[in-house]
Structure 1
Amino acid sequence: MSGAITIKLLALALRQVSRPIANIIKAQAKQHETFKKLCISFAQRMHKTDLAIKAKLTSTKHKGTGNNIKIKSVVRPLNDEKAVENGATILSELFVFSVAGGIVAFETIRQMKKESARREAVTNDIGILQEEIEDLKKQLKLQGEKNSLILSRINSEKRKEN
């Protein structure tokens, strides 16, 4: 039981530590050129995808014709500063999400193993009980046969006495 509490406390500590680490990642992303380029690329793709989804959601059908009215707009890229900020935020949030997701996955796998071990123990116990029942049935059968022999001897002795 104390092992489970220890694991849960460690998981809680990891979650608490992940936010400051995410902030460090975010700060580093703004300072290093390679990280900046990655953030800009990622943020620009997210920006284009976001605008494309919004455009599809806001496009309406032209009344009477059933034709779609397509809104064509030129996607203006984010400026580099905003892209770095957005990309760094996304990376830091991905880190926090990964830590939380890893904890959930670990806990789920641990619970599945625990449940599997419990089921196996129950299956073994049932097997042992079934064997004991079979042994008791055999003993009862033997006892019944002994009782039959004793009764037949008693009956034969009574017949001899008569």
Structure 2
Amino acid sequence: MVLPLMKLGTLAVKTISKPLASQLKHQAKVHPKFRQFIINFAQRNHRITTQMQRRIYGHATDVEIRPLDEEKAVQAAVDLIGELFIFAVGGGVVVFEVQRSARSEARKEEARKQEVEVHRNSF
């Protein structure tokens, strides 16, 4: 009974995180300082990924990389932020599930040890 409720709760947390990520994206677009930060982040990310792609495909890496258009940079950054937020929520749920399962197994193991001890003492 507890397991289906936990799974349902996990699904609810993931579902709720999507609108929160959307709101985070909206705020990132309109807040001036945060907007500038994400533009710089997106430009750096663009340069790094372009250089990595050039190295992988064997192209020249000393070529100047043109910066992204400001709106494209904002869109790329807010998409990344939204995905990272959803990923972080999902990862947190997985960690919670693993810890809960480990505690449950530890309780079962302790009960088995006590049962064995009771059987030993009865002989």
Cα deviation, residue 77, structure 1: 1.4
Gaps spanning 5+ residues in structure 2: where?
Answer: none
Residue of structure 1 equivalent to 2:18: 19
Counterpart AA for 1:77: P
Distance 2:29 2:80 in 1: 12
Counterpart Cα distance in 1 of 2:115 and 2:37: 57
Report the Cα distance in structure 2 between the residues aligned to 1:129 and 1:54, rounded to whole angstroms. 65
Deviations 1:24-60 (A, max 9, x none): 1111111111221121122112111101211111118
- Residues matched between the structures, number: 123
- Could you say which residue in structure 1 is the equivalent of 2:85? 95
For 1:121-160, list aligned pairs within 5 A: 121-133=111-123
Q: Is the 8 A contact 2:38 2:78 kept in 1?
A: yes
Unaligned 5+ segments in structure 1 are 61-69, 134-162
Specify the SS of the correspondent of 2:64.
Answer: coil
Q: Which amino acid aligns with 1:23?
A: S
Corresponding residue for residue 9 of structure 1 = 8
Aligned CA RMSD, in angstroms, stands at 1.6
Opposite residue 72 of structure 2, the aligned amino acid is K
Q: Quote the offset at 1:117 in angstroms.
A: 0.8
Structure 1 position 71, deviation (Å): 3.8
Q: Which letter does structure 2 place at the counterpart of 1:121? A: A
Which structure is larger by alpha-carbon Rg, 1 or 2?
1
Higher relative contact order (CA 8 A, sep 6+): 2
Whole-Å separation in 2 of the counterparts to 1:43 and 1:127: 62
Match of 2:55 in 1: 56
Q: TM-score, normalised by structure 1?
A: 0.70
Q: Taking every aligned residue pair, what percent have the same amino acid on both sides?
A: 33
Over residues 71-93 of structure 1, what are the superposed CA-to-partner deviations in whole Å (9 max), with x where a residue is unaligned? 42112111211111111111111
Give matches, 1:6-85, under 5 Å.
6-59=5-58, 70-85=60-75
**Structure 2 counterpart of 1:95, which letter?**
F
Give the TM-score of the pair, scaled to structure 2.
Answer: 0.90
Instruction: Give the secondary-structure state (helix, strand or coil) at the position aligned to 1:74.
Output: coil
Give the conservation status (yes or no) of the 8 Å contact 2:39–2:73. yes
Instruction: Tell me, in whole angstroms, the C-alpha distance in 2 between the residues paired with 1:11 and 1:53.
Output: 36
